A and B are shown apart, each in its own frame.
Chain A
Amino acid sequence: MEEREYRSASGAPIALRRRQYSASCRELVVRCPRLQLRSLSAATSAVWLAAYGLFVLCENSMVLSAAIFITLIGLIIYLHFVKIDHESLLVIGSLGIQVTSSYASGKESTTFIEMGHVKDVVINEAIHMQKVIYYLCILLQDPGDPQGVSEVVPLFQSSKPRLDCLIEVYKSCQEILEQRKTAPQPS
């Protein structure tokens, strides 16, 4: 098991941890940048200053209590639904690929794709919000039509690692996916 530091597409530090469970099973975990104290303080101060300005204008003290509630509830919603703590990719040769996102509140959201549907794991480039980014994605195929790509599943969407980290993940996945060709196909 090893852990290395990389950078995300926006420059924030992220970490990639690789674990090899067996010859055909690997887990790759990308830890996203943590919630910064300064951005949290900035957001809270902005909301409270705006609420105090409103209070000075309309002399109603409910505005201040409402601002406190909004800040608390907003923070809880953000941690539970938006802020992702780490994203992991578990590749089990001949079984499938499992993609997990863990939110900062502890909630985990998992997707499993069976190996029959996986065509390949590739690094694709696309335009995203006035930038061209590299991102890792799983190409899915219809079991009946092995030549065509039926769907594209992008991975590591919120940590957005840069190309050096993606190449490491890509090489690890390809080592396991290559075993598919040499292993006997189940009927």
Chain B
Amino acid sequence: LLQVVRNPMVEKPNKDGRPPTIEYQEEEILDTVYGAVLRECYSMYKLFNGTFGRAMEAGGVELLMQKLDKFFYRYLQTLHLQSCDLLDVFGGIAFFPLDKMTYLKIQSFVNRVEESLSLIKYTAFLYNDQLIWSGLEQDDMRILYKYLTTSLFPRHSEPELAGRDSPLRPEVAGNLLHYGRFLTGPANLKDPEAKFRFPRIFVNTEDSYEELHLIVYKAMSAAVCFMISASVELTREFCEQLDGLVGPQLTLLASDICEQYNVNRRISGPDKEPQFKFIYFNHMNLAEKSTIHMRKTASVSLTSVHPDLMKILGDINCDFARVDEDEEIIVKAMTDYWVVGKKSDQRELYVILNQKNANLIEVNEEVKRLCATQFNNIFFLD
């Protein structure tokens, strides 16, 4: 894959009639970010089409070109390169915080469904666009997560938010026993004529190379992905069986989670509103958390800080990537801001402080305090 990036340029007007000088601003672009975007293009292609090698084996260059054309035609339109930033470098997964008991109930649910429907190979459980459990390996989950949160879920949430009379409102399945429905596959189980198919994905491409049906089933804010070998034909009966088994249980679980979440919010107090702007990422489990980025919509991920600051974060990240050891970098940016980047073991933390009159020591103390309160569960080396 080849990516061509044109450096932004600025025209500097010259005096005395000479043509304006063109200044290329290479530092404005972060190679790591665009590199990451490129890698993600490939991962996303591979998720839905398998590797290039296999396509070549199956149908030569012609088949590969067809697949690439079909995929990238749509995919490229979804990219918003101007808003790509550090988070794209990480390609992380946001995990939903949950207490132990509810987590165990979810485990129990997943295990029982997998036992009843033995066709299911892998399961993933998400709530509110955040991951709770993945039976898939990390690398595959990472790209699947990106697809779910930036493409599939937004496509289905807009109709949900639409008004009662909107033509976008999904057909109520007529099932008053539960709120479960398919996001992929049969939109309306009641209609025996309606045809449906599930998207196919390719996982474990390094070793077992599996092609799977992707079933995404949702009830309220909880979404479950069931992955079944593509060699099996999934019939309407199977979908009805799944709907009957999963719908009620998932509805119950979703309201349990919601209740627990509200309880926890009340306990931890209203001051959980993050005063700190930070981005956290753990290379080990790909967990990411950002208080800078707003909720992602289908199109754009909004940030609440100046893009220049995001660029500084990207620079610090490049520095970190160059060495193996733990590091801490503190930058005074523009007039008002301090940016601190901390790397410990496999974790990276970036904090943006808006304190123009603070000095280095005060900034250091602030960050230490942040680590002690927000991150007291994990071991950060000073």
A and B bind? no
A residues within 8 Å of B by Cβ? none
B residues within 8 Å of A by Cβ? none
